[in-house]
């Protein structure tokens, strides 16, 4: 007998996006760019039809949150361009505490950000 997984392969990314958008809107931020390395999620966010997929309820939550922001957009970025998010995700998986950072980036991604910045020059 096979059971369908309750935890969809793509679930962590939209959940993380939803938590980030909730935090941003609670802080009153009104200019938000949501970047994701999942083209499926970005495409779902940009469609006007209701998402009936396994993660559709999360996608629809994200759409509502984005509507409440004055200037919001979502875009697809390659995995290689998302190293800071990747480092933060690994940190979150190994931590039992909640963290938030504003103004200054956390120490765990400073090297990644500096490398990204130097590659732009």
The predicted-structure confidence for 24-66, as pLDDT tens digits, reads as follows 899 898 999 888 888 888 999 999 999 998 889 999 999 999 9
pLDDT 10s digits, 62-97: 999 999 888 988 888 887 777 888 788 788 878 888
What is the per-residue pLDDT for 71?
Answer: 92
DSSP 39-85: HHHHHHHH-SSPP-STTHHHHHHHHHHHHTSSEEEEEE--GGGGHHH
Query: How far is Cα 119 from Cα 102, in angstroms, rounded to an integer?
Result: 24
For 4-22, what is the mean pLDDT? 73
User: How many whole angstroms separate alpha carbon 24 and alpha carbon 18?
Assistant: 10
CB-CB neighbours of 14 under 10 Å: 24
Mean pLDDT is highest, among 48-57, 99-108, 110-119, for 48-57
Q: Model confidence at 1, in pLDDT bands (50, 70, 90)?
A: very low
Biggest alpha carbon–alpha carbon distance for the chain: 56
pLDDT at 5 over 60: no
* Residue whose tokens read 């390395």: 37
Q: Is 50 exposed, middle or buried (0-12, 13-18, 19+ CB in 10 A)?
A: exposed
Task: Indicate whether this model's pTM tops 0.75.
Answer: no
Mean pLDDT of 9-16: 75
């Amino acid at each position: 007998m096979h059971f369908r997984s309750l935890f969809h392969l793509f679930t962590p990314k939209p959940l993380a996006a939803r938590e980030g958008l909730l935090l941003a809107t609670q802080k009153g931020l009104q200019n938000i760019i949501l970047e994701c390395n999942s083209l499926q999620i970005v495409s779902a966010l940009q469609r006007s039809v209701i998402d009936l997929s396994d993660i559709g309820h999360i996608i629809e939550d994200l759409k509502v949150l984005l509507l409440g922001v004055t200037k919001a957009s979502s875009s697809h970025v390659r995995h290689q361009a998302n190293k800071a998010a990747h480092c933060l995700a690994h940190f979150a998986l190994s931590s039992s505490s909640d963290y938030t950072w504003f103004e200054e980036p956390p120490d765990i991604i400073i090297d990644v950000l500096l490398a990204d910045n130097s590659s732009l020059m």
